[in-house]
Amino acid sequence: MLTRCLDLLAPALERPGAVAIDGTLGLGGHSEALLTRFPELELIAIDRDPRALELSGERLKPFGARAHLVHAVYDEIPEVLERLGVPRVHGVLFDLGVSSMQLDEADRGFAYAQDAPLDMRMDPTRGMSAAEVLNSYDKRELTRILRDYGEERFASRIADRVVRERDAEPFTRSARLVELVREAIPAPARRTGGNPAKRTFQALRIEVNGELEAVRGAIPAALEALDVGGRIAVLAYHSLEDRIVKRAFAAGATSTAPPGLPIVPEDQKPWLKLLTRGSEGADETEIAENPRAASARLRAAEVVRRPRTARVKGAR
């Protein structure tokens, strides 16, 4: 879906002096593609993971001063732009969720298929680990996280089992958690839908990294940073993220004037134009090459006029 993202952003980034934000740098593949496709583009690439910044920094060295790598969370866009002295940008790209690098590095604890320390922090230098969440949250909070963030039907059963077993021995490794989830879920439910632990791992990862709160802050911040004619493209990988993006875009693309008003005041007209009809998914060829793309949902929008700041923040 990278080509589609670049095509959607192109009308905004082909202008002279264009500046864009890659809010989720990862290993730098999207940043490299942006800088290659748009030879005059200046890019601000953000990631909370120091390891990602280290690896992508090597990858983006050939682009020299055109690439600015910043250690931050993507909802900190206003602070990042202020530090760099950049008032407005012309394009923003988000590829939300956990990166392939984080999934593939076994010692990070993101992948339920490999035994590893239960960490799951995208930035290992701050915040609580997944083990600390499991060992300190009460049953009610654990149930809420598993139900709301993992959409887990058996959240209460899993949380109850965690609380009982941690009293005997605190959780430290992912394999033990995978086995606990398998035992807590009824046998008929284990036969479909892949590994039964995937929803629990998703929920813990979202909680540990404050992912949904970051998305709720990042989308309005990005829209506020865009100049008129600027475009934003967002790839989300589960319904919780996609719903936040959908609502933020819909708020900007909807008139606030009362229905039937003969003349709509300028400040009540939509200030966003949706560039995708609903969300777009990957085609069969891409899914065959990269199975992780199967759950991707792409939405894009263009700023057609400057809204009032309160309108943008209201999308949160």
Domains of the chain: 2-101+211-313 (3.40.50.150), 110-209 (1.10.150.170)
Residue 29 annotated as part of some ligand binding site: yes
Residue 149 annotated as part of some ligand binding site: no
- pLDDT digit string, tens, across residues 201-220: 999 999 999 999 999 999 99
3-state DSSP call for residue 37?
helix
Residue 28 annotated as part of some ligand binding site: yes
The residue count for the chain: 316
Residue 104 annotated as part of some ligand binding site: no
Is the pLDDT assigned to residue 100 strictly greater than 70? no
Residue 268 annotated as part of some ligand binding site: no
**pTM to 2 decimal places:** 0.89
Is the Cβ–Cβ distance between 44 and 34 less than 8 Å?
A: no
Residues 6+ apart with CB under 8 A from 58: none
* Per-residue confidence band for 178, with pLDDT thresholds at 50, 70 and 90: very high
Return the pLDDT at 314: 41
* Per-residue confidence band for 308, with pLDDT thresholds at 50, 70 and 90: low
- pLDDT digit string, tens, across residues 241-279: 999 999 999 999 998 878 877 787 878 889 999 999 999
Return the pLDDT at 309: 54
* Per-residue confidence band for 135, with pLDDT thresholds at 50, 70 and 90: very high
Is the pLDDT assigned to residue 316 strictly greater than 60? no
Among 139, 160, 29, smallest CA distance to 93 is for 29
Residue 95 annotated as part of some ligand binding site: yes
Residue 114 annotated as part of some ligand binding site: no
Mean pLDDT for 131-149 is 97
Return the pLDDT at 133: 97
